[in-house]
């Protein structure tokens, strides 16, 4: 196995585990209902960037060369179709409310698996080759800042972070990114910020991914991961399992739930791989 492949696998496993920890606060303990501000446990404030970081993970350091394949497009469109059917028919979500949902709408029920849509849009935009990509991206940032539309917001955050991953900022010392990351957490707590603005969130997510990849690079010197993982499929599995936990009220223990969901997701990935469905 190449060092690069091992690095990607380690990064994927860490990201997926952190994703479960983050979502356990939303699905199990309900401590991250106000999920982008100070009204949640400290550990969840540290994990605020995971939502956009999950999307930017796909394009990191590949923005200028990124191209979404036809097969990937079809796979994502099928997933999005299932998400839309589930929200409109099963959960009876209003179509207009679905597409106009705002990042500040804490009091409203968020559509299920909503983040997949801005991820898909970000991947499509990243595949389009323009000479002035940054103009398009930061125009989207400004529009989403004003409108607070969830889909626009995360499309622009994912694109911005991915674009910055190939910039001069990427070469800064990891210590700087850790310091900025901690200072943002302190800022949210000290000033009791209900929700950080989009510009600070872009910096937060960028630092999160820098720390994630640096940690993966370090662990790669000592560990070899033989289990490959599709981050997108893992995301879908953990969301399904958490929803089942909620419906049957299986557990309200957050730590136990994280362990069980992670193991079940790995088992599900193994089964899908065996039947070549992953």
Q: How confident is the model at residue 108, as a pLDDT? A: 65
3-state secondary structure the chain: CCHHHHHHHHHHHHHHHHHHHHHHHHHCCCCCCCCCCCCCCHHHHHCCCHHHHHHHCCCCCCCCCCCCCHHHHHHHHHHHHHHHHHHHHHCCCCHHHHHCCECCCCCCCCCCCCCHHHHHHHHHHHHCCCCCHHHHHHHHHHHHHHHCEHHHHHHHHHHHHHHHCCCHHHHCCHHHHHHHHHHHHHHHHHCCCCCCCHHHHHHHHHHHHHHHHHHHHHHCCCCCCCCCCCHHHHHHHHHHHHHHHHHHCCCCCHHHHHHHHHHHHHHHHHHHHHCCCC
Residues of the chain with pLDDT under 70: 1-3, 29-35, 61-66, 106-109, 129-132, 167-170, 249-251, 276-278
What's the pLDDT tens digit per position in 192-213?
998 899 999 999 999 999 999 9
Q: What is the pLDDT of residue 260?
A: 92
Per-residue model confidence (pLDDT) at position 30:
63
What's residue 132's pLDDT? 59
pLDDT at 61 (0 to 100): 61
- Give tens-digit pLDDT for 47-87: 999 989 999 998 876 656 667 788 888 888 888 898 899 88
pTM, entire model: 0.90
Query: What is residue 158's predicted lDDT score, i.e. its pLDDT?
Result: 93
**Tens digits of per-residue pLDDT, 102-113?**
988 866 667 888
- Residue 26 has what pLDDT? 80
Q: Given this model, what pLDDT does residue 223 score?
A: 85
């Amino acid at each position: 196995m190449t060092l690069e492949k091992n690095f990607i696998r380690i990064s994927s496993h860490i990201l997926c585990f952190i994703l479960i920890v983050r979502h356990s606060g939303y699905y199990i303990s309900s401590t991250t209902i106000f999920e982008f501000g100070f009204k949640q446990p400290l550990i969840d404030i540290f994990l605020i960037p995971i939502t956009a970081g999950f999307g930017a993970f796909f394009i990191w350091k590949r923005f200028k060369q990124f191209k979404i394949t036809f097969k990937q497009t079809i796979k994502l469109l099928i997933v999005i179709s299932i998400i839309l059917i589930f929200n409109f028919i099963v959960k009876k979500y209003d179509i207009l409310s679905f597409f106009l949902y705002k990042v500040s709408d804490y009091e409203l029920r968020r559509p299920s698996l909503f983040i997949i849509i801005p991820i898909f849009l970000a991947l499509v935009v990243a595949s389009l080759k323009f000479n002035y990509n940054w103009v398009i991206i930061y125009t989207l940032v400004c529009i989403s800042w004003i409108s607070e539309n969830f889909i626009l917001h995360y499309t622009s955050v994912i694109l911005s972070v991915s674009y910055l991953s190939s910039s001069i900022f990427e070469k800064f010392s990891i210590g700087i990114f850790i310091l900025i990351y901690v200072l943002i957490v302190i800022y949210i707590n000290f000033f009791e910020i209900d929700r950080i603005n989009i510009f600070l969130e872009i910096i937060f997510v960028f630092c999160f991914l820098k720390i994630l990849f640096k940690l993966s690079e370090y662990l790669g010197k000592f560990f070899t991961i033989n289990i490959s993982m599709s981050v997108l499929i893992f995301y879908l599995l953990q969301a399904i399992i958490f929803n089942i936990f909620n419906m049957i009220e299986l557990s309200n223990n957050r730590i136990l739930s994280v362990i069980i969901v992670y193991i079940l997701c790995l088992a599900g990935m193994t089964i899908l791989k065996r039947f070549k469905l992953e």
